[in-house]
Structure 1
Amino acid sequence: MFAELLQDLEPWPGLHARTWAVLESLPAAVQRDFLDDPRFQITIDNYTPEAGWTLWMPVPGPPGEGSRCVVLRKRLEWCHAGFAAWVIAHEFAHAWLRNGPWGEISDVEEAADAVAAVWGYLRPPGTWADFFSIPS
């Protein structure tokens, strides 16, 4: 069901699997919302130090219909699994909220955190360095 959405992640099998697992765990209504919107996409950040990065995505829709593009970084393939799942869920929450508020939560970052938490993805405790230490 999600193969087409995840095709950009195929060169990174770990990230592909992590993203699939999060996407599969989301409520059915959220999954359907993503699958039914041709503007929704999942892609990889292609940043390179000398060249910068390029991203092609559909333009946002009318007011209240913000971007539906989820851009993930390659390092989510090897960083701490719980942190990666939270980041992926957080980014899906932004897309579901169309980068907007949620209920009484007007800050878009706090709104995405709250939605991710409702979906079962809490930010793991620890420092940023803990999340990105290379696994042994």
Structure 2
Amino acid sequence: MSFAAYLAPFSDHPVLKKRVLHVLECLPEEVQRDFVDDHRFRVTLDNFQPEHGWSFLMPAPGVGGQGSRCVVLRVKLANASEPFAWYVIAHEFAHAYLRNGGWGEITDIEEAADALAAAWGFTRPRI
């Protein structure tokens, strides 16, 4: 499966690019296919600038899975420990996969994303 389109925004950040690719490659095939087959799914880099903030235009997630499925990652994940960066990336991918909803009996969207990321093998590291 080709993830080139999802890695392009990270071409100037090779460590982060490698981390994003690692997580994408570790996801179950049905999740990979869900992302690749949906034109609304994309991954991009946060453009935060101190004293200026950040800007990013995308459709808001909508009812029934409509709207954006965009994952926005920060450059500082390249400087974090590998397990922590993988966890954050997987957590954000879980939000996209779940369309910012619950998972099974878990209705809290943050708990659902954590649980799904853990099911994929990316648990929150102890600090």
TM-score bracket for this pair, using the shorter chain length:
over 0.9
Residue aligned with 2:113, SS: helix
Tell me what 1:49 maps to.
50
Q: Which of structure 1's runs of 4+ aligned residues deviate more than 3 A?
A: 58-61
Tell me what 2:78 maps to.
77
Q: Distance in 1 between matches of 2:99 and 2:80?
A: 26
CA RMSD, Structure 1 to Structure 2 (Å): 1.2
Q: Distance in 2 between matches of 1:2 and 1:57?
A: 21
What is the TM-score of this pair, normalised by structure 1? 0.88
Tell me what 2:31 maps to.
30
Compare CA radii of gyration and give the structure with the larger one: 1
What is the TM-score of this pair, normalised by structure 2? 0.94
CA contact (8 A) 1:99 1:108 kept: yes
- Does residue 120 in structure 1 map to residue 83 in structure 2? no
Percent identity over the alignment? 58
CA contact (8 A) 1:64 1:100 kept: no
Instruction: For residues 6-43 of structure 1, give each alpha carbon's deviation from its aligned partner in whole angstroms, at most 9, with x where no partner exists.
Output: 11111110000000000011000000000011110100
Tell me what 2:65 maps to.
65
Return the offset for 1:94: 0.3
Q: Distance in 1 between matches of 2:65 and 2:10?
A: 25
Whichever structure has more helix as a proportion of its residues is 2
Number of matched pairs: 125
Structure 2 gap segments, 5+ residues each: none
Residue aligned with 2:115, SS: helix
Instruction: For residues 81-111 of structure 1, give each alpha carbon's deviation from its aligned partner in whole angstroms, at most 9, with x where no partner exists.
Output: 1000000000000000000001100000000
Tell me what 2:22 maps to.
21
CA contact (8 A) 2:61 2:99 kept: no
Residue aligned with 1:5, SS: helix
Q: Distance in 2 between matches of 1:68 and 1:34?
A: 9
Residue aligned with 2:43, SS: strand
Tell me what 1:7 maps to.
8
CA contact (8 A) 2:90 2:122 kept: yes
Q: Distance in 1 between matches of 2:118 and 2:21?
A: 18
